[in-house]
Structure 1
């Protein structure tokens, strides 16, 4: 089925979001940086995978780390381990957690773990929510940033208080850090400092880092050794994972130093959006490189306006809109390498036109 907004976005010279197209070139560019004689990993072993795991364990401040082909696999395994440790198959997390809304009940169907949904859908989990937990819960998952509500983050003091409470009560605290590196500029903390508050942590290498796929699960030595067993049981020990590992390492080195720039770009861009009629961003001032844009106009009315803007200015703002009731819609913005490539005058012209069209649509 034809998607005019997607097609117009793909034709735009200056897309606002992301690092670039996800094509074969992403992998080719990464592989070109390595010696073709470098030995691949084999079933989770070998210098290539072990060196990368050690490197990431050091960056995250954990005793050990294990590379997984997917974050879905890594996080289900992390929660399974913590539930087995306590002998209680209950895990708490946000109602809009990835495990709850994107994994077809995998945690329950594969591991028999009962999810305990904590807090409200439209807000962050707070200390009071955690204090209300039944102590039979084995573990708590916190996502930083909370993607489905605009990438919001708790105050760091609140995070420290939650961590201390969980340790006092024997509740394992797991970090869904799919976008962990993207929040470091806001917290003004290192990855290791943040991860010190958690018993285990998962990070992704295809979101802000822009690799082709893959994830790291980190924790103490006993935890990671158990995760290797579950990784084998899940079929995650492919004969070789080197395309994922090499692209993860290559793009980590390339993009990790740019997280401050992406964060600054998100704050600047949110300012442009918030000056437009009928638009608000969530959060108003972003706390990472991502945020949501809410428009008081139905999707079917906004789409043609955006297509016109893309065609007139060659600036592509988003490729997809999500309905938010009958009279409004929203979309997600995630800043990467592309944003810095847009000439400022072209960007300003696109937003002036957007504001004009939204004003006349009132």
Structure 2
């Protein structure tokens, strides 16, 4: 199975980790390359005479919105080109209705760290950060807020801390408390379908705990782009006005809608398989020297891998691993703890099940041996 590392490096110039990762035949994460084939496959059996949607109207968009509203157990749903747009609009509506510009969410919420302060600059909404960065929001955090808020946003799973999830009873308690206090509760459910096998709940059962919900179609589902925002009918009607104001009411969104529908139907039934494979892979990784996963036992198809050595030491090892074993574990590393550790994220999709388990185990054994050598010299 293994290549000769010396002959491999002699045949080609030095590679970056991302380049070496891309050249492997066995990539552990994801559903496949994000290339034009993703669109071609989704459209392969589509009737070319099918009428497109126009400015949010037409069977293509309306039928899919109705389908997703039913799946999520909400009165109505609206298709958006991006989740960033959908969530900012959701929070704007809830804030306007309560005449309160405060929303609460986790310090590592997507709106706080990945959107260039769009919520604050475009909507003048103030964020109240709950919990520490490295743990989940609890009922106690919500109860101890010292400012009134219009809305609480919960992300399930909490991506930036390894895709962790609260116990379902804790989630129910937070929802009940918010409703008692008149606090709207919104679900960042970008990866909602990925958590259902762990909770053993339907999407509608989870969404019942929330006033509004956003889901993504390009993460675990693997579509091109697109999102759904769902909730009460008057809420989604107002969201359509804001979608137009944001420039999201494209003349046609059918390439995103049709690919979302296609890959949703292809993959939503595979989420339990992905989840079980993530648990299996995390167990194998946790046998390696100076490596651990967060969570130790995944609660969805995603988890983080932590190396107990600096990025500058781990990166060459992972490049060598790609070349020696033909298995791609990670395309990038992020420094952690003042550069004494590094980490990466891994999400299981279609690719993992296509790789012989023995190849994965042999590659991780190779990694374990290299890490033992490096750790012994520390």
How would you bin the TM-score normalised by the shorter chain?
Answer: over 0.9
* Kept in 2: contact 1:17–1:335 (CA 8 A): yes
Deviations 1:16-68 (A, max 9, x none): 00000000110111011211110000000101000000000000000000000
CA distance in 1, matches of 2:21, 2:292: 21
Q: 2:353 aligns with which of 332, 340, 345?
A: 340
The CA RMSD over aligned residues, in Å, is 0.9
Who is 2:187 aligned against?
A: 175
Query: Shift in Å at residue 326 of structure 1?
Result: 2.1
Who is 2:6 aligned against?
A: none
Give the 5 Å matches for 1:65-104.
65-104=77-116
CA distance in 2, matches of 1:265, 1:70: 29
Task: For residue 351 of structure 2, give the secondary structure of its aligned residue in structure 1.
Answer: helix
Query: Shift in Å at residue 135 of structure 1?
Result: 5.8
Q: Extract structure 1 runs of 4+ deviating beyond 6 A.
A: none
Q: 2:279 aligns with which of 267, 272, 276?
A: 267
Query: Shift in Å at residue 132 of structure 1?
Result: 1.2
CA distance in 2, matches of 1:87, 1:348: 56
Task: For residue 303 of structure 2, give the secondary structure of its aligned residue in structure 1.
Answer: strand
CA distance in 2, matches of 1:327, 1:258: 37
Who is 2:244 aligned against?
A: 232
Query: Shift in Å at residue 307 of structure 1?
Result: 1.2
Who is 1:322 aligned against?
A: 334
Give the 5 Å matches for 1:148-167.
148-167=160-179
User: Are 1:203 and 2:239 counterparts?
Assistant: no
Give the paired residue count. Answer: 361
Give the 5 Å matches for 1:1-362.
4-134=16-146, 136-324=148-336, 325-362=338-375
CA distance in 2, matches of 1:161, 1:84: 26
CA distance in 1, matches of 2:288, 2:141: 36
Deviations 1:93-150 (A, max 9, x none): 0000000000111001000101111111110000000101246200000000000000
Deviations 1:137-177 (A, max 9, x none): 00000000000000000000000000000000110000000
Query: Shift in Å at residue 255 of structure 1?
Result: 0.3
Deviations 1:308-339 (A, max 9, x none): 11111111101010011222100001000000
* Kept in 2: contact 1:135–1:169 (CA 8 A): no
CA distance in 2, matches of 1:33, 1:161: 46
Deviations 1:270-310 (A, max 9, x none): 00110001011100000000000000111111111111111
* Kept in 1: contact 2:73–2:204 (CA 8 A): yes
Task: For residue 337 of structure 1, give the secondary structure of its aligned residue in structure 2.
Answer: coil
* Kept in 2: contact 1:298–1:329 (CA 8 A): yes
* Kept in 1: contact 2:15–2:319 (CA 8 A): no
Task: For residue 285 of structure 1, give the secondary structure of its aligned residue in structure 2.
Answer: coil
CA distance in 2, matches of 1:3, 1:112: 45
Who is 2:11 aligned against?
A: none
CA distance in 2, matches of 1:66, 1:135: 31
CA distance in 2, matches of 1:327, 1:121: 18
Task: For residue 216 of structure 1, give the secondary structure of its aligned residue in structure 2.
Answer: strand
CA distance in 1, matches of 2:339, 2:298: 26
CA distance in 2, matches of 1:336, 1:211: 12
Structure 2 length normalisation: TM-score?
A: 0.94
Structure 1 length normalisation: TM-score?
A: 0.99
